[in-house]
Amino acid sequence: MHDPYLELIKEQWPSISDTYNRYAEQRPIMLVDVQESVIHAYPVEEFIMLLDAPSRRQVEMQYHRAVANRQMVLFVRDTDNKVFQSYTLALED
């Protein structure tokens, strides 16, 4: 199955990586907003509180697995297409 957001992530990776690295000590959750063309780095607690209750536990588990494996959690928000998709991505050395 083709994921149109993987190409977006690939294109935006230098900016995503730079933004993440500015806040790497806090291990943020990243958000790419498609319509606003903005990349955000959120403290994990703040980001999780923005989610509905059923999603919180799932994202917490995803986040802890990612941190343990030297990965980041990145969300893509595309409000036009009603998409809010998460990805777990390897961090570069």
27-52 pLDDT, tens digit per residue, is: 999 999 999 999 999 999 999 999 99
| Domain total in the chain | 1
b/e string for 46-79 if b means 16 or more Cβ within 10 A?
Answer: ebbeeeeeeeeeebeebbeebeeeebbbbbbbbe
Average pLDDT over residues 12-29: 95
The domain of 8 spans: 4-90
